[in-house]
Structure 1
Amino acid sequence: MKWKQILLVVGISALTSITSVWLYGKYANSRATSFTQSTDGKTPANYAGFFNAAPGAEITDFTKASQAAVPAVVHIKTKTPAKKITNQLPRNRGGMFDDFFDQFFNYPQVQPEQRASGSGVLISDDGYIVTNNHVISDGGTGVAEEINVTLNNKKTYKAKVIGKDPSSDIAVLKIDGTGFPYLVYGNSDNVKLGQWVLAIGYPLTLETTVTAGIVSAKGRSIGVNGRQSQTPIESFIQTDAAVNQGNSGGALITTDGQLIGINSAIYAPTGTYAGYSFAIPVNLAKKIVNDLIKFGDVKRPYLGIMSDSRNVNATDGAYVGTVAPDGAAAAAGLKKGDVIKKINEIPISSWSELQGTIASLNAGEKISIQYKREGKDYSTSATLKADQGNYGNIAANSLGELLGAELENADKKVTQRNDAEGGIRVKRILKGGPLSRTRMQEEFIITSINGVPVTTIEELSRAIASTRGENLNLEGFYDGYEGLYRYPVMLAQEEE
């Protein structure tokens, strides 16, 4: 009997357990919310063409491009001799202490000899070289007194400066000789995100160095060219190829050896490479180089518009602010508030991309423009002009609205009396505007913004647009008062 009872208990327990497990499984399945992707053979639209590559495709080869490009990238060394400098402090006009202050504060001091090095790219067999303006600079607005170029084969040549363009940070050098290796131009408009690229140069005084990375972004503006120009042009190709000091002026090439950029800047909060580098697109560099060789300076084309300062960082197109009545854009029918989306079928997603695209063209060239106005798509054509147009009171009103003030170009007698080349007079400060939140007083004469000199309303407007941020430092003077005054200004931003 005992065995029968035991077997009965075991059987009942087993049956109960099986039943419980089955019921729980059924309940759990009814509650499941798992996600399963579609298996109907369709792929998302963003993967179009992604799986079309033949199986077993070759691994990207960097060796051929490196071997072809390295001989055409040169090492540039500059020397600027010692020179006397002064602090250039404002003088007290007619004060009894003029001589005393001149003796102790404006007394000439000696700036020691400066040596620097960078890279460059041969672009012709007769010795033309493209590099950065800051590579051959004397530290100011001039060029180094001595510039030597060393090729990959260790031969050294004296270089002559053909021309320079601080706005784009491009300079052209020439060395005597023929039969030099050189790089073939590519097309930077065809560069794609994620594309492999190689950076070649002479970093940290090392010999020729090749690094690899991908294109991280296009049309980048980082505000670096504003340090050397009142009219900076920035539309960089951003990569993660390692670039350091000394790489400036070197080549950014594709894996088939074509030149697509001139390495110009790094993102370096610590002073050395921190993951991002920036190159000038070759289509822009090519136009600048051709002008410098042919004319000695750059023949800039203009569309005749200024950016909408409140939307200068937008990434869905280039927002039009002020339109010059006699400019190319006005003749084409563009108005304030329009958003430019394409130029010659080239997509435009930001103001910096528009700048770079227009700057790579020539005055007199006819372009197609696609833009949005109040949500609707439009297209037109324009002929670029050799001058930017006359903005007159339109720029003053637009800029005044942004800063909260009535502005006008300063009287020449006032600027000359204060040893200034020009300036912008703050005629009236409006209540509630950005300037009203500073200690600035009416009749202030603005002469620089963030350290960049400005002499007219048009220059001030372009300088503000190039800051690409909210913080401004306006510097200037008051007629009849000694010294310079500086006011930090926070621009009010519209909510998106």
Structure 2
Amino acid sequence: MKNTLKKLIPYALVGVMSGATTIGAYTYLNVKDKDLDFNYFAPKNNDAKYASFNMTGVGDDFVKAAKMTVPAVVSIKNFSNRKDRPSQQDLFEQFFGNPFGSSPRQQQTPPPNMPTGMGSGVIISPDGYIISNNHVIAGANKLEVVLSNKKSYVANLVGTDPTTDIALLKIEEKGLPYLNFANSDNVEVGQWVLAVGNPMGLNSTVTAGIVSAKGRSIDLLSQQSRTPIESFIQTDAAINPGNSGGALVDPNGELIGINSAISSKTGYYEGYGFAVPSNLARKVVEDIKKFGLVQRGFLGVIPLDLSDQGQVAAFNQQKRTNIKTGDGVYLVEVAAKGGAEDAGLRSGDIITKVDNTIVSNYYDLSFAVGSKRPGDKVAVTYLRNGKQNVVNVTLKDQKGGTSVRTKADLTVSERIGADFEPLSDKFKTDYGLNSGVIARNVQEGSEMAKIGVVDNYIVIEVNGKNVNSQKDVDKILQGYTGNVQIKFVDEYGRITTKGFKMP
């Protein structure tokens, strides 16, 4: 956000200075009224009528869009009975900042039957599919959906994608009002938009603004995912806590984005709102509905964002190189047998374009590639020794495959969200353990993360059985569909047993 503000300040100064220059010149020249053609600055009476008519037209567009959108936007209540569940305010602070300053607040457990978090959602089909944000539904034991007509339902969570902060829910109902996805690639900077949601408990609130930027990254989703995809639509329509998961629509009432975050020092609206583009959100939803999980393609590279001066400086210092900052993504490493290596890309190449997307930074690359599926082909434009080249790359998944997968194809580690490494015999002896594996690569929002397990915690039992390797965990949980009990040791040496239903 600081970088964004720094970029905006010069433009603000230009505006101020331009205004001052105009006024100063007018005073200096002492131009009299008769010397000016005021018709250029102020409309005639007839022009004023036309101006009023035009504003009425815009207002009518807003009324039409609002009438279409409000019935399809719902309120979502997140219930959890876990004491370590983040409070509603904690969730707001994670995505909107702390309005009370940086002083830590005492954790409080919400009263029984009270939601621990609230947000918005958008009905996208008449049979009850609802799209929202992953952070709105995170950690929920129960999700309640309230329609604009106050009718409420208990929703089922169909699937989530922390990488894009998208979640898909389902309620059992038919004939519901819903919104169509628009093509977000056609959205233009400067066009009118409406944001519809339930900010701060104010149901069915509509605000208007314009699209102020496209393809914006704010380094937000790295809190949820190791491979975040950020290419937000930025708007100045007022968005506040509770708007998360709500609709950003065009004047035709078509869905162009899912409101996800604001950039703010106070936790409340300061002029910058961000929405996941509808094309990306639609792809995530289609994957979840069809396959049960998101299909995501990978190039198979370790990138360096050349637009990030800090990253480049640190890399140069560590590797004793002299890489220059600028636009594009420098390939630090190309994975063996990945799509990039198969296509002939190698370390030192600089990617500048993928298909029709200009790659100025890492987020451009992650959006262009991450919105594709394994097996898709992309045209990659890159620089090697100053010469531009183009090559077709077949994308692969993280396991090196080019085929789509369903939940049934997932490994145990993928389903519960963690890998496991054996403990050394010496470690077991030193700490008096008869068994144990070290948790690695614990995924944000995964089942393991939900019960409080993080990297380097030691899992000693699964379903009452000792585990000493990844194979032990796989053997116990492969094909298992019931409740899972995990006994683990935290960083303080405390032994805890918690559970979840096998996904």
| TM-score, L = length of structure 1 | 0.60
CA contact (8 A) 2:228 2:366 kept: no
Distance 1:205 1:411 in 2: 46
Match of 2:176 in 1: 180
Match of 1:141 in 2: none
Deviation at 1:377, TM superposition (A): 2.4
1:417-428 matches, within 5 Å, as: 420-422=438-440
Letter in 1 for 2:133: N
CA contact (8 A) 2:306 2:361 kept: no
Match of 1:80 in 2: 80
CA deviation string 1:269-305 (max 9, x = no partner) = 1111111111111121112111212222222211112
CA contact (8 A) 2:357 2:364 kept: no
CA contact (8 A) 1:134 1:169 kept: yes
Deviation at 1:137, TM superposition (A): 1.5
Q: Does residue 1:352 correspond to 2:377, yes or no?
A: no
Letter in 2 for 1:302: F
Q: Does residue 1:69 correspond to 2:87, yes or no?
A: no
Q: How many positions carry a matched residue from both structures?
A: 332
Secondary structure at 1:62 match in 2: helix
Distance 1:337 1:238 in 2: 33
Distance 2:176 2:195 in 1: 20
1:313-462 matches, within 5 Å, as: 316-387=327-398, 412-413=422-423, 420-422=438-440
CA contact (8 A) 1:309 1:321 kept: no
Secondary structure at 1:287 match in 2: helix
Distance 1:247 1:175 in 2: 20
CA contact (8 A) 2:287 2:293 kept: yes
Distance 1:324 1:160 in 2: 38
CA contact (8 A) 1:130 1:170 kept: yes
1:152-301 matches, within 5 Å, as: 152-301=148-297
Match of 2:121 in 1: 120
CA deviation string 1:224-258 (max 9, x = no partner) = 22223333322222221110000000011122222
Match of 1:306 in 2: 302
Match of 1:136 in 2: 137
Letter in 1 for 2:144: N
Match of 1:93 in 2: none
Distance 1:252 1:192 in 2: 14
The 10-residue stretch of structure 1 (356-365 or 109-118) with the greater mean CA deviation from structure 2: 109-118
Distance 1:69 1:112 in 2: 32
Secondary structure at 1:147 match in 2: strand
Deviation at 1:411, TM superposition (A): 7.8
Deviation at 1:202, TM superposition (A): 0.6
Shift in CA distance, 150/276, structure 1 to aligned 2, threshold 3 Å: same
Secondary structure at 2:257 match in 1: strand
Deviation at 1:412, TM superposition (A): 4.3
Secondary structure at 1:289 match in 2: helix
Distance 2:219 2:363 in 1: 11
Distance 1:154 1:145 in 2: 22
Deviation at 1:344, TM superposition (A): 2.4
Shift in CA distance, 366/152, structure 1 to aligned 2, threshold 3 Å: same
Distance 1:122 1:422 in 2: 37
Distance 1:454 1:217 in 2: 37
Distance 1:364 1:254 in 2: 33
CA contact (8 A) 1:318 1:350 kept: yes
CA contact (8 A) 1:284 1:357 kept: no
CA contact (8 A) 2:156 2:169 kept: yes
Distance 2:424 2:65 in 1: 59
Distance 1:62 1:154 in 2: 23
Deviation at 1:58, TM superposition (A): 5.2
Distance 2:68 2:127 in 1: 18
Distance 2:305 2:264 in 1: 27
Distance 1:173 1:74 in 2: 11
Deviation at 1:388, TM superposition (A): 6.0
The 10-residue stretch of structure 1 (164-173 or 55-64) with the greater mean CA deviation from structure 2: 55-64
Secondary structure at 1:216 match in 2: strand
Letter in 2 for 1:267: S
Distance 1:454 1:337 in 2: 32
Deviation at 1:361, TM superposition (A): 1.4
Secondary structure at 1:182 match in 2: coil
CA contact (8 A) 2:306 2:327 kept: no
Match of 1:494 in 2: none
Distance 2:221 2:380 in 1: 27
Shift in CA distance, 369/309, structure 1 to aligned 2, threshold 3 Å: closer
Letter in 2 for 1:81: N
Shift in CA distance, 385/65, structure 1 to aligned 2, threshold 3 Å: same
Which runs of 5 or more residues in structure 1 are unaligned? 1-54, 86-108, 139-143, 391-408, 424-451, 456-481, 485-496
Distance 2:192 2:331 in 1: 34
1:35-54 matches, within 5 Å, as: none
Deviation at 1:80, TM superposition (A): 1.3
Distance 1:134 1:354 in 2: 24
Shift in CA distance, 253/336, structure 1 to aligned 2, threshold 3 Å: farther
The RMSD of aligned alpha carbons is: 3.4
The 10-residue stretch of structure 1 (146-155 or 172-181) with the greater mean CA deviation from structure 2: 146-155
Letter in 2 for 1:344: D
Deviation at 1:128, TM superposition (A): 0.3
Shift in CA distance, 170/336, structure 1 to aligned 2, threshold 3 Å: same
Deviation at 1:118, TM superposition (A): 0.6
Secondary structure at 2:176 match in 1: coil
CA contact (8 A) 1:311 1:319 kept: no
Shift in CA distance, 422/361, structure 1 to aligned 2, threshold 3 Å: closer
Shift in CA distance, 240/374, structure 1 to aligned 2, threshold 3 Å: farther
Deviation at 1:119, TM superposition (A): 0.4
CA contact (8 A) 1:215 1:239 kept: yes
Larger Rg: 1
